[in-house]
Amino acid sequence: MTTDVYYRGILNDLNYRYVIASAFDSVNEVWFRHKIKQAQSAVLLGEAVMAAFLLAARGTKELNQTISLHFECNGPIRRLMATGRFDGGVRGYTPESEASWNGSLYHGKGTGLLNVSRFLYNSKKIYSSSIEFQEQPLSKDIEDFLAKSEQVQVFIQIGAFEKSNSYGIYGMLFEALPDATADQTDNLIDYLQKPIFNEFTQTGSLPKLPGQLEQGRLFHHCGCNREKISQLLTTIGEDECRSILSENGKIEVTCEFCREQYLFYEPDLQRIFVDHSV
């Protein structure tokens, strides 16, 4: 079985486009980096990661967009942050890696506020919008967001499958094209009852659908680097940085998304603040 793969395509007879994806190594890398061993926390974060990718994959190669999701929750998970890129790169974070709760998976997030940010690489523009979300499956939160922000009809399903003593995350998004009819929507709902979709949700095995236009890979990716962290230090200020350096002998910055550690010493500060002042 191949995982960490996505398909994009159009069901021409039904006037719906689709993105369908199966993630294993990519989401397990997220869980490994954050030392998430509690299954509920892992799967809920994995669903957020998949949702971010599905939204990003709705774009075009020309737009080359990245979608960031930020769930502020009143449930035990408190916060979910996930990023998905058009090319399949994903990352995620929650401060409550060991949270657990009774009831359904979505009870972990409860209700709250969802912020969606869309970054377009070519134009370097960011668009953001927010909605309140209810105590319901995370996929329904995304459906509600698209209905309110873009007035589009979508059907989204995201969930977990078991593999190799761990979990993977599957996701599928079907979006009505502008001329889709009510009958075609009814036919799509019937189409989604086919056994291939049941197998997909149970095993993560991607079904071959008509009208496939593109295939790609999902992979863990974090855009942090030493240069960006250096820029962050300039916002803290030279005096504060030197105070930290004097107290600890170094400045240590850890990326909250990938847990990569960056160390800075006296020569680094000289370079950073000399360059910044020029």
Do the bridges between strand 212-217 and strand 5-11 make them parallel or antiparallel, or are there none, so unpaired? Answer: antiparallel
Residue 68: CATH number of its domain: 3.55.30.10
Rounded Cα gap, residues 55 and 69, in angstroms? 10
What's the domain range around 238?
226-277
Given a cut of 80, is residue 195 above it in pLDDT?
yes
In the chain, where does DSSP find H-type helix? 25-33, 39-56, 138-149, 182-191, 195-203, 226-236, 238-248, 266-277
Given a cut of 80, is residue 127 above it in pLDDT?
yes
Domain check: are 45 and 19 in the same one?
yes
DSSP string, 188-208: HHHHTTSHHHHHHHHH-----
Tokens read off for 221:
């990716």
Mean pLDDT of 109-133: 92
Given a cut of 60, is residue 65 above it in pLDDT?
yes
Residue 253: CATH number of its domain: 3.90.1280.10
Domain check: are 177 and 230 in the same one?
no
Tokens read off for 150:
């873009």
Rounded Cα gap, residues 117 and 129, in angstroms? 7
Rounded Cα gap, residues 177 and 16, in angstroms? 5
Mean pLDDT of 86-111: 94
For residue 278, the model assigns a pLDDT of 47
Rounded Cα gap, residues 137 and 130, in angstroms? 17
Domain check: are 170 and 252 in the same one?
no
At 123, is the pLDDT very low, low, confident or very high (cuts 50, 70, 90)?
A: confident
- CA 121, 113, 120 angle in degrees (round to 5)? 5
Domain check: are 139 and 247 in the same one?
no
Task: Supply the pTM of this predicted model.
Answer: 0.92
Above pLDDT 90, what percent of the chain? Answer: 90
